[in-house]
Chain A
Amino acid sequence: AQSVTQLDSHVSVSEGTPVLLRCNYSSSYSPSLFWYVQHPNKGLQLLLKYTSAATLVKGINGFEAEFKKSETSFHLTKPSAHMSDAAEYFCVVRAYSGNTPLVFGKGTRLSVIA
C-alpha cells in the first residue's frame, strides 16, 4: 500500500531563511508524488508534482522538491521564506490500490516570523 509521512506537524522559520518540509513515502510501485499548499480559508493548490521524470522538481512560488529513491523521501524546500508562504502543506502519493486514488499526508503547518 502507498502512504506518506510528514515528519513535522509544525515548522517555524524567520522571513528570508530557508524552508524545509519533510516527507517520506512508501509505495509498491514507481511513485507519483505531489505537494499541495492550503492558505487559510482557501482550497488546496498544487505546488508541484513528480512523475518519474527529473528528480528535482520545480514548482510555483520558488518551491522545489527532490525525489530520493534511496531515502524514500520527497522533501519540499525554498531558499528564502516569505510571509506569504505561511500555510498548511500536504505531501501526497498516488495510490494504486484501496479506496482513494491519492493518499494525503496529515499536513505541516508553516509559520513565517517577521
Chain B
Amino acid sequence: DAGVIQSPRHEVTEMGQEVTLRCKPISGHNSLFWYRQTMMRGLELLIYFNNNVPIDDSGMPEDRFSAKMPNASFSTLKIQPSEPRDSAVYFCASSSGTGWEQYFGPGTRLTVT
C-alpha cells in the first residue's frame, strides 16, 4: 500500500491567498483526520471524517478554514484567506475506525509570508 498521500509537500504563499491541501487516505480506511503541528502548540486535531461525513470540526481555528471529503479516497483542507499565523505542518491521517490506530501522511509544510 502507498500509505496516506498528501500534496503538495511544501507550499509557500503570500498572505491573503487561498491555499488548498490535499489528502488521499489508505484504501479501505473509513476515517480521515486533519492535524496541524507547530512548535508552539504541538499537534492539534482540526477536523475528522467518518464515512466521508464530518464528525467534529471543533478544532478548526476559524471560518477561514474549511474541509471537505467528497468521496472515500480524497479530502481537501482549504484556508481562505491565508495569514502568516497559519504557517505550520499539516498532517492528514486515516484509520479503519475512529478509535483505532491512525496512519499519518508525510505532511504539507505551509509557509505564509
Contact residue among B31, B58, B106 (Cβ-Cβ distance under 8 Å from A43)? B106
Category for how many chain A residues contact B: 20 to 34
Do A101 and B99 touch (CB < 8 A)?
yes
Contact residue among A45, A95, A100, A101 (Cβ-Cβ distance under 8 Å from B104)? A45
In whole Å, how far is A102's beta carbon from the nearest beta carbon of chain B? 6
Do B101 and A100 touch (CB < 8 A)?
no
Does any Cβ of A come within 8 Å of B8's Cβ? no
| In the complex, chain A residues whose CB is within 8 Å of the CB of B56 | 99-100
Contact residue among A46, A96, A99, A107 (Cβ-Cβ distance under 8 Å from B42)? A107
In whole Å, how far is A18's beta carbon from the nearest beta carbon of chain B? 26
CA distance A32 to B31 in the complex (A): 17
| In the complex, chain A residues whose CB is within 8 Å of the CB of B93 | 44
CA distance A27 to B14 in the complex (A): 44
| In the complex, chain B residues whose CB is within 8 Å of the CB of A34 | 101
Do A43 and B107 touch (CB < 8 A)?
yes
